Amino acid sequence: MRENNVRNLLLTMYTPYMTTSNLIRHITGFTGSNAIVVLSLDDKHYFFTDPRYDIQAEKELNGGLFRIHTCVAFTKIFEYMKESGIDRIHYISDITPYTMVEGVAQGYCIPTDGSDILGDLIECDKQEVYVYREKFSGDSYKLKIARVLRELLKNNQEFKEDSVFLITSVENISWLLNIRDADDHNTVPAVLGKVLLFGDASLTVFIEGDFIDSSLDHELHSDPDINFVNKEDFNQQLNNSLFYDVTTIMCTDVRDKGQHINDPITRLRAIKSHVEIANFIHIHTIDSFVLTDFLLNYINLGTYSEMSASEHLLSLRSAHKLFIGNSFVSISACNGSSASIHYHPTKGKDKKVDRGVYLLDSGGHYLGGTTDVTRTILVGQYDVSEHFKQHATRLLQGFIDMHTCVFPCGTSGKVLDVLSRAPLWRLEYNYPHGTGHGIGNYLNVHEGPCGFSSSTELQANMVLTIEPGFYCSGKYGIRMENVVFVKECGNGWLKFEPLTWVPIDLRMFHLNTLSKEQLLWLSWYTREVLKRNSKLGLSGNAIQVLLSDLETISLII
Amino acid sequence: MRENNVRNLLLTMYTPYMTTSNLIRHITGFTGSNAIVVLSLDDKHYFFTDPRYDIQAEKELNGGLFRIHTCVAFTKIFEYMKESGIDRIHYISDITPYTMVEGVAQGYCIPTDGSDILGDLIECDKQEVYVYREKFSGDSYKLKIARVLRELLKNNQEFKEDSVFLITSVENISWLLNIRDADDHNTVPAVLGKVLLFGDASLTVFIEGDFIDSSLDHELHSDPDINFVNKEDFNQQLNNSLFYDVTTIMCTDVRDKGQHINDPITRLRAIKSHVEIANFIHIHTIDSFVLTDFLLNYINLGTYSEMSASEHLLSLRSAHKLFIGNSFVSISACNGSSASIHYHPTKGKDKKVDRGVYLLDSGGHYLGGTTDVTRTILVGQYDVSEHFKQHATRLLQGFIDMHTCVFPCGTSGKVLDVLSRAPLWRLEYNYPHGTGHGIGNYLNVHEGPCGFSSSTELQANMVLTIEPGFYCSGKYGIRMENVVFVKECGNGWLKFEPLTWVPIDLRMFHLNTLSKEQLLWLSWYTREVLKRNSKLGLSGNAIQVLLSDLETISLII
């Protein structure tokens, strides 16, 4: 730093592709997912994180080296630094999102080349890239390019046929070109790279890696409209009058003449094609069977720890030929652990799963789609408290009310959100997370822009989760999560259709306080779970459990 | 116009106080509530209205004199005029809201003095003003002024103790000074005028009228901190560096050095004081009794027309000493008429109220508060269709679900809105109006900023209506409306408490499809209606009806 005349250097958690990097973890030891560091030659270094991680940061960082600050908005950091008497800060253009420094007074933030100071610490590992076949991705890249261009021209008067659009969102690039990272352990298998889309439907593409499947990538590489180049050549082409989406660009991508427009891929990606929906139905059927089998036949054996349970589940999922890997790190949590929303067991320190409340939030990437399911069940001969039952029942009501709602076109998830919350609100409880998120096709398990916290209008064939929760600190947590897709009723009305068919443990609820409509849905859902999973060979024991559930409900209706 | 070198003159529906004027009605014959006219010497005049009024405008206007255009946003008018080859438009500063011409290119809109052209057509009638006593208004004007100043200083860094705030909202002025228009027939009894509020808590006040009650206005007039002046003197004082709320100012109020800040009174006014809530409870009890009596003892006599029914209701309300007048023109509508959301019967053309669906939406201004209630009932021996019953039942569910919801502080009406709509949405029906609005204290029956279409956070002691509806064109309309206030549950949670206690006609619903919680609320509400109205002397017959309703519900629970 001294050599480069840098006294204060801003570091982020981002790679040059706005994915998460290990830079800050490497330098500070911090393992959380949100932080900014300012390395300083003057005094201690500065460490900023959000309030979720205040205790963790104190624990993991060396207080002799870092001043730790928690703040909700990272845009306040520069104000804070100014007030602390720091007269200027250097940042590394490559790993600093444009929106982070955009509003800061000129001359205060100074761009610098990170490789001089950090060397290969900010370089990304080379990926092995492969083509995600059309029968899984839904549409050809040719068709997708044409649709994206049409949207660009339709939505932006300024965007003409001789304009150039810089695509920097790696999920959007992977969707557009039907390519994925070949690493099965990558829960977000997006391909790192950047793309220039020209008004004549030709592309210039830089990919941080090599293609591994020569037969399938042949079409891409032999397409005269696609020009694969290396990083340097790509960056040289940026000297155009570019259009880009500022929300996903790094400072290094910004050219003087650039202009912001929304990347239309983000919305297009969220609306699944008919092929994608058919695939989602198929792989959710498979995944639901694995989970149903696991929850009804295995978890009660009393032989699992939190960790071994999720490992066994992974092995059951892996048996299917379309399965690729976990879509996120499973939350396998018993009793007290289940009250921590983001709990992950660690080997050796995990609990036994023998008696009590067990919460399992897991999902898989498959060729053809991604799953994300949560069930909370009672393990062993365990009687829950009245407090538990009351809250669980309200939770179930909110879960059902969202599943059964019908809504006019033009309605956003945000408008519907309260339907899942209102029953728990009656007990003066509000779960401290969203009601549900969009899901990608073997890409992000959390995919924008649709979801129940979003003002994006819901459209037919969007896929999202419904996952209300209740958490009683130190004692237990309950969450139920299904994946659903938006379906047309006709005449401008929409509804949700479940993709997940996994049993709900009825022992947790006061079923007699449900409304008749709620009971009818529960009965229908349980019947469907039974029907669909029986077809795939569910064991006789498990079938007995579901039949007995159906009888329980029918006695109340 | 020619003398003043004006070729095209813009006229609005506004008085200089942003209340509704008769100017356009006078000139064009149009009786709707939303229009703009451009008088032109070149050709026909231009008439703009919104799509609700397209047919009415064609009917009421002389097509030989006016070109009629319907548009949703009046801000598009200037673009349209430019495209029509009109090179400039004069407007009358006094009656043109600042926001209407704010964004138009300089030089295109030219201010002119209306009195030269229109003479006294744009003058307002002088009002008779009286003091709305503190026992009805809740707080003294002194206290209110102090609170408003505190809010101004707290919310706006730029507003200092030597700043001046121009108040132009006539409702806010009336609230601040505890004064009202003495005309009992004025449904919005706001006092026309303008006020300058100085940082030292002194006021300069111009009122378009005279005080009529010398004993009560003594305090205001003898207060050395309040300087009553005439219009000319007031306007001369505008040469300050003013702060104002642009949403309620006319072009004539804007001074070069002015600066926009939100008028804090709008929010303060919506949060009723404890005295106001006590008064609201009192006058709603009175009003509910009048309506209950009317609906259970009179309307079924078969002797009414739509018009005479609302006249009789007014006479019943008038019998109470606190009653002042209707808070809006009653909607008294039988069968087909009830399907028109804004139907008002006219003498001679109104229907008989003898057999069928009858919708009554009415309200009163009282010393101490304002009411607004809608009930739909069956008159005569009338059996409704299955279609009616299904929709009415869903409507009732939405009505109850909103009444019974509990929500965390910070929740807006907009977030809750779907609770009233979701049951009807299941039948793929959405009512084409808001779910409810704020209510003023003997001021506007529709009062901002709270309501179920608003993102204003609901706070304890806000008063609002819950009024879902269902309309089947040409056949019938159903609407149910109660006034409620927001009440604290403690621990950061809020709920609604009804102010209206008027019976619900149970014959309209499939009660057995309600949830147990919904039935329990209906039973509780009916019992409260019985208890509260019996105390005030409800007739034996009416009591029998309510007792039988209670029995009907209890047989289902």
User: pLDDT tens digits, residue range B529-553?
Assistant: 999 999 999 999 999 999 999 999 9
pLDDT at B375 > cutoff 80: yes
A556 touches chain B (CB under 8 A): no
Same domain, B164 and B287: no
Which of residues A79, A98, A122 is at a domain's end? A122
The C-alpha atoms of residue B94 and residue B115 are separated, in whole angstroms, by: 9
In a domain, residue B115? The reply is: yes
| Cβ atoms < 10 Å from Cβ of B87 | 10
pLDDT at B493 > cutoff 80: yes
Give the distance from residue B493's alpha carbon to the nearest chain A alpha carbon, in angstroms: 7
A493/B428 CB distance under 8 A: yes
Q: Which residues of B touch A418 (CB under 8 A)?
A: 415-416, 418-419
- Write the CA distances from A440 to A196, A272, A274, A365, integer angstroms: 23, 9, 14, 10
A489 touches chain B (CB under 8 A): yes
Closest alpha carbon to B340 in B361, B363, B310, B371: B361
pLDDT grade, residue B240 (50/70/90)? low
Q: Which residue of B has its CA nearest to A407?
A: B425
Q: Is the peptide bond before B224 cis (omega within 30 degrees of 0)?
A: no
Strand, helix or coil at A465? strand
Which of A428, A489, A491 lies nearest to residue B493, judging by beta carbons? A428
Q: What percent of chain B is predicted at pLDDT more than 70?
A: 100
B409 touches chain A (CB under 8 A): no
Q: What is the pLDDT of residue A240?
A: 67
In a domain, residue B521? The reply is: no
Q: What percent of chain B is predicted at pLDDT more than 90?
A: 78
pLDDT at B498 > cutoff 80: yes
Q: What is the pLDDT of residue B126?
A: 87
Same domain, A46 and A137: no
B341, B261 contact by CB (below 8 A): no
| Best A391, A393, A405, A428 residue to mutate vs chain B (most B CBs within 10 Å) | A428
* Paired tokens of B387: 């279609």
* pLDDT tens for chain A, residues 1 to 557: 777 788 999 999 999 999 999 899 999 999 888 899 999 998 899 999 988 888 889 889 988 899 998 887 777 888 888 888 898 999 999 999 999 988 887 789 999 887 777 777 777 788 999 999 999 999 999 999 999 999 999 999 999 989 999 999 999 999 999 999 999 999 999 999 999 999 999 999 999 988 887 776 788 999 999 999 999 999 998 876 799 999 999 998 887 778 999 999 999 999 999 999 999 999 999 999 999 999 999 999 989 999 999 999 999 999 999 999 999 999 999 999 999 988 989 888 999 998 999 999 999 999 999 999 999 999 998 889 999 999 999 999 999 999 999 999 999 999 999 999 999 999 999 999 999 999 999 999 999 999 999 999 999 999 999 999 999 999 999 999 999 999 999 999 999 999 999 999 999 999 999 999 999 999 999 999 999 999 999 999 999 999 999 999 999 98
Q: Which of residues 507-536 of A touch B (CB under 8 A)?
A: 513, 515-518
Give the distance from residue B224's alpha carbon to the nearest chain A alpha carbon, in angstroms: 46
Query: Across-strand partners of B207?
Result: B193
A425/B419 CB distance under 8 A: no
Indicate the length of chain B as a whole number. Answer: 557
Closest alpha carbon to B539 in B295, B374, B281, B285: B295
DSSP code, position B350: P
Q: Cα dihedral angle (A42, A43, A48, A54), rounded to 10 degrees?
A: 180
A422 touches chain B (CB under 8 A): yes
B51-110 residue pLDDT tens? 888 888 888 998 889 999 888 777 788 888 888 889 899 999 999 999 988 888 778 999
The C-alpha atoms of residue A397 and residue A391 are separated, in whole angstroms, by: 10
Same domain, A481 and A393: yes
Which of residues B98, B122, B146 is at a domain's end? B122
Q: Which domain holds residue A206?
A: 127-263
> β-strands B89-92, B109-112: how paired?
parallel
Same domain, A99 and A138: no
Q: Which residue of A has its CA nearest to B422?
A: A405
Chain centroid to CA B123: 24
B404/A417 CB distance under 8 A: no
- Write the CA distances from A103 to A109, A227, A258, integer angstroms: 10, 35, 16
The C-alpha atoms of residue A387 and residue A492 are separated, in whole angstroms, by: 41
pLDDT grade, residue B199 (50/70/90)? very high
The C-alpha atoms of residue B44 and residue B70 are separated, in whole angstroms, by: 16
Same domain, B394 and B482: yes
Give the distance from residue B551's alpha carbon to the nearest chain A alpha carbon, in angstroms: 21
Helix, strand counts (H, E) of chain B: 17, 31
B417/A415 CB distance under 8 A: yes
Chain centroid to CA B152: 26
Same domain, A103 and A251: no
Q: For residue A70, give the CATH number of its domain.
A: 3.40.350.10
> Residue for token digits 């304890």?
B460
pLDDT grade, residue B138 (50/70/90)? very high
* Paired tokens of B407: 């929500």
Q: Which residues of A touch B416 (CB under 8 A)?
A: 418
The C-alpha atoms of residue A451 and residue A458 are separated, in whole angstroms, by: 8
* Paired tokens of A556: 């109340």
A416 touches chain B (CB under 8 A): yes
Same domain, A399 and A338: yes
Q: Which residue of B has its CA nearest to A414?
A: B415
In a domain, residue B296? The reply is: yes
In a domain, residue A485? The reply is: yes
A431, A421 contact by CB (below 8 A): yes
Q: Which residues of A touch B511 (CB under 8 A)?
A: none
B202-221 residue pLDDT tens? 999 999 988 887 776 788 99
| Best A391, A400, A407 residue to mutate vs chain B (most B CBs within 10 Å) | A407
Q: Which residue of A has its CA nearest to B428?
A: A493
Q: For residue A459, give the CATH number of its domain.
A: 3.90.230.10
Q: What is the pLDDT of residue B218?
A: 80
Q: What is the pLDDT of residue A55?
A: 85
B419/A417 CB distance under 8 A: no
Q: Which of residues 346-365 of A touch B (CB under 8 A)?
A: none
Q: Which residue of B has its CA nearest to A489?
A: B428
A401/B419 CB distance under 8 A: no
In a domain, residue A71? The reply is: yes
What total of structural domains would you count in chain B?
A: 3
In a domain, residue A398? The reply is: yes
In a domain, residue B305? The reply is: yes
The amino acid sitting at B341 is I
Same domain, B167 and B91: no
Q: Which residues of B touch A406 (CB under 8 A)?
A: 425-426, 428
A423 touches chain B (CB under 8 A): no
Same domain, B283 and B389: yes
B426 touches chain A (CB under 8 A): yes
Q: What is the pLDDT of residue A33?
A: 86
A413, A434 contact by CB (below 8 A): no
Q: What is the pLDDT of residue B114?
A: 77
- Write the CA distances from A220 to A441, A470, B48, integer angstroms: 20, 48, 56
Alpha-carbon torsion (B419, B425, B427, B433), positive or negative: positive
What is the DSSP code string of A284-352?
HHHHHHHHHHIIIIIGGGS-EEHHHHHHHHHHHHHTSTTEEEESS--EEEEGGGGGSTT----TTTPPE
A432 touches chain B (CB under 8 A): no
Same domain, A296 and A419: yes
Q: Cα dihedral angle (B396, B397, B398, B400), rounded to 10 degrees?
A: 80
The C-alpha atoms of residue A342 and residue A77 are separated, in whole angstroms, by: 26
B55 touches chain A (CB under 8 A): no
Q: Which of residues 115-144 of A touch B (CB under 8 A)?
A: none
B425 touches chain A (CB under 8 A): yes
Q: Which residues of A touch B493 (CB under 8 A)?
A: 425, 428
B277-312 residue pLDDT tens? 999 999 999 999 999 999 999 999 989 999 999 999
Alpha-carbon torsion (B128, B133, B138, B144), positive or negative: positive
In a domain, residue A557? The reply is: no
Same domain, A288 and A237: no
Which of A489, A515, A516 lies nearest to residue B428, judging by beta carbons? A489
B428 touches chain A (CB under 8 A): yes
Question: How many interface pairs between A and B have CB atoms less than 8 angstroms apart?
Answer: 53
Which of residues B201, B231, B265 is at a domain's end? B265
Q: Which residues of A touch B406 (CB under 8 A)?
A: 425-426, 428
B392, B424 contact by CB (below 8 A): no
Same domain, A356 and A397: yes
pLDDT at B460 > cutoff 90: yes
